Amino acid sequence: MSEKTVLVTGACGEIGQALVQGLAKRGGYRIVTTDLLPPAEAIQPLTSEHVQGDLVYRVKQFYDYDFDIIFHLAASLSSKAEVATEEAHRINVEGTMQLLMLAAYKSAKRGRAVQFLFPSSIAAYGFSSLEEKHRAGRVKEDDYNTPHTMYGCNKLYCEKLGIYYSRYYGQRHLDPDPPVMCDFRAIRFPGLISAYTVPSGGTSDYGPEMLHHAAQGLPYACFVREDTQISFMAMPDAIKAIFMLMDAPREQLTRQVYNITAFSLTAADFRKRALAAFPSAQITFQPNPRRQGIVDSWPEDVDDSAARRDWGWQPDYDVDRFFEEYFLPEIRKRYKNVRARTNE
Supply the minimum distance, in Å, between the C-beta of residue 242 and ligand SER.
Answer: 14
Rounded Cα distance, 339 and 313, in Å: 37
Least distance (Å) between residue 112 CB and ligand SER: 31
Among 95, 202, 208, 315, binds ligand SER (CB under 6 A): 202
Closer by beta carbon to ligand SER, 4 or else 225: 225
Distance in Å, CB of 77 to ligand SER, minimum: 4
Least distance in Å: CB of 191 to ligand SER? 5
Count CB-CB contacts under 10 A for residue 25: 9
Residue 259 within binding range of ligand SER, rule CB under 6 A: no
Residue whose CB is less far from ligand SER, 197 or 204: 204
Beta bridge partners of 284: 221
Query: Binding segment for ligand SER among 20-28, 136-144, 201-209, 284-292 (CB under 6 A)?
Result: 201-209
Point out which residues pair with 341 in neighbouring strands.
none
Query: 218 Cβ partners below 8 Å, 6+ apart?
Result: none
Q: Does 34 bind ligand SER (CB under 6 A)?
A: no
Looking at residues 93 to 122 of the shown chain, list those that interact with ligand SER (rule: CB under 6 A).
Answer: 121
Q: Could you say whether residue 9 binds ligand SER (CB under 6 A)?
A: no
Residue 302 in contact with ligand SER, rule: CB under 6 A: no
| Residue 2: closest CA among 30, 23, 26, 25 | 30
# residues contacting ligand SER (CB under 6 A): 10
Assess 92 for contact with ligand SER (CB under 6 A).
no
Contact between 77 and ligand SER per CB under 6 A:
yes
Looking at the Cβ atoms of 151 and 313, the one nearer to ligand SER is 151
Q: Which of 59, 100, 123, 181 touches ligand SER by CB under 6 A?
A: 123
> Distance between CA 268 and CA 60 in Å, rounded?
47
Closest to ligand SER by CB, 47 or 204: 204
Q: Considering only 64-72, 202-210, 235-243, 255-263, which stretch makes contact with ligand SER by CB under 6 A?
A: 202-210
Select 113 or 201, whichever has its Cβ closest to ligand SER: 201
Q: Which residue from 9, 107, 194, 204 is in contact with ligand SER, where contact means CB under 6 A?
A: 204
Options 78, 98, 197, 259; binder of ligand SER; rule CB under 6 A: 78
Which residue stretch of 48-56, 139-147, 199-207, 324-332 sits at the interface with ligand SER (rule: CB under 6 A)?
A: 199-207
Give residues in contact with ligand SER (CB under 6 A): 77-78, 121, 123, 151, 189, 191, 202-204
